[in-house]
A = this chain, B = another copy of it.
Amino acid sequence: MVLNVPRGFKFVGINCGIKKCKKDLGIVYSEKECLAHGMFTRNLVKASPVIYDMKLLQENPRLIRAIVVNSGNANACTGEEGMKNTVRMAKKVAEKLGLEDKTVLVSSTGVIGLQLPIEKIESGIERAVNLLTDDPIQFAEAIMTTDTAIKISYRELELSGKNVRILGIAKGSGMIHPNLATMLSFLFTDAKISYDALKKLLENAVDKSYNMIDVDGDTSTNDTVIVLANGLAENKEIVEGTRDYEDFRSAFDEINVELAKKMVEDGEGATKLIQVEVINAADEKTARKIARSIVSSNLVKTAIYGEDANWGRIIAAAGYSGAVFDVGQLTLYLSDGYRKVKVFEKGQGILFDEEMAKQILSSTRVFLTIDLNFGNSRAVAWGCDLTEKYVQINGRYRT
């Protein structure tokens, strides 16, 4: 990999035997202690590592040195033994890398309800720590479950004369729904930044990215987004209300949106990316509600899969979103990014070029624009189509 990873971060990904052949264990290590913040699933049922990380980041957000991740097993609904295994994963990494206790975060992703094969993981950790390199690709592979491609996004920027790098690595392709999806996303930066600024940046970015995607409407027990900042770029500390903050925010947001889009493009069984943009809404909340409702509709997803300009389903999904708007003012456009066709205006469908609509819908990226013609607010959500393959993948996942 030719990209310049953030200074001081090392990566590894191996197979430790949870899965038959594919990589299933990854570690990221920082040479210097990191400032860290995390956001986690809102599901009442939280996996052991989620509970563990939430507590650790509250107690000790300034001295994080490593993250260990396994795929193939979510360590969710596993009771006391599950929590013991999470602690054992963290301890083994700390021991082998000579780190203090409580400086290692843990994530798990995969099937719910099975106990981890902890001995395999522990001996995997012993091997993995000797294989850390600058290359994040094997780590990105190790965190995959039903993903068909790795998900990496990267930006490099100058902040007051200093070169700063941000790297995002994510996974996720099923059980994906607004309010954090079945997804893991790790952000690494060598920027020096204040805790308040880092916290705010992450919360804003998550709201615009992972909270605006949908594959199948299911919110998982393991959703996790973590950012680590080790300060090795030696820039002037980034604080809110500065030009540096804005520049950093812009790059950080782009990375998170890019990763979120990669997740839905790789949605289980998906053949098309669906982007829903709501413009000229009374307020952002209205725009978000409508965008999320449309992108989550099974009927919209299947219509787009079938390349059918069945705009009635789009309007119906806007209608049941819970947002208040005037359908008599609503205009709806379909686009593939090149061609654009207006199909609905002022409360009713209009005559449109069905041939062009068909061509637009045959694209692998379908853009819906809903103009509410009312205010100035805007929101964008992303999803994918619903296909026979999604049903096949999920009818046979566990067996």
With A43-B319, A320-B218 as contacts: A299 and B175 at CB distance below 8 Å: yes
* Residues of chain B contacted by A297 (CB below 8 angstroms): 217-218
Determine whether the beta carbon of A305 is less than 8 Å from that of B82: no
**Bound complex: CA A394 to CA B390 (Å):** 14
> Which of A5-13, A97-105, A243-251, A344-352 makes up part of the contact surface?
A344-352
Determine whether the beta carbon of A44 is less than 8 Å from that of B324: yes
A216 in contact (CB, < 8 A): yes
Copies of this protein, total = 2
> Which of A70-78, A163-171, A373-381 makes up part of the contact surface?
A70-78
Give the Cβ gap from A34 to chain B, nearest Cβ, in Å.
30
With A306-B399, A349-B113, A391-B305 as contacts: A298 and B218 at CB distance below 8 Å: yes
Determine whether the beta carbon of B395 is less than 8 Å from that of A316: no
A318 in contact (CB, < 8 A): yes
Residue with the greatest number of chain B CB neighbours at <10 A, chosen from A323, A327, A395? A395
A256 in contact (CB, < 8 A): no
- B interface footprint on A306-333 (CB within 8 Å = 1, 0 otherwise): 1111111101111111011101000000
Give the total of A residues in contact with B, Cβ under 8 Å. Answer: 68
A369 in contact (CB, < 8 A): no
Give the Cβ gap from A15 to chain B, nearest Cβ, in Å.
23
A145 in contact (CB, < 8 A): no
Selected contact of A77 from candidates B77, B113, B175, B348, CB within 8 Å? B348
* Residues of chain B contacted by A324 (CB below 8 angstroms): 44
User: Which residue of chain B has the shortest Cβ distance to A398 in the bound complex?
Assistant: B310
Selected contact of A303 from candidates B217, B311, B320, B394, CB within 8 Å? B394
**Bound complex: CA A76 to CA B318 (Å):** 14
Give the Cβ gap from A271 to chain B, nearest Cβ, in Å.
11
Determine whether the beta carbon of B312 is less than 8 Å from that of A113: yes
- B interface footprint on A213-251 (CB within 8 Å = 1, 0 otherwise): 000111111000000000000000000000000000000
Determine whether the beta carbon of A312 is less than 8 Å from that of B79: no
**Bound complex: CA A64 to CA B75 (Å):** 60
* Residues of chain B contacted by A74 (CB below 8 angstroms): 312
A114 in contact (CB, < 8 A): yes
Among all A-B residue pairs, the 7 with the closest Cβ atoms: A112-B312, A306-B395, A45-B319, A302-B394, A79-B348, A388-B388, A219-B320
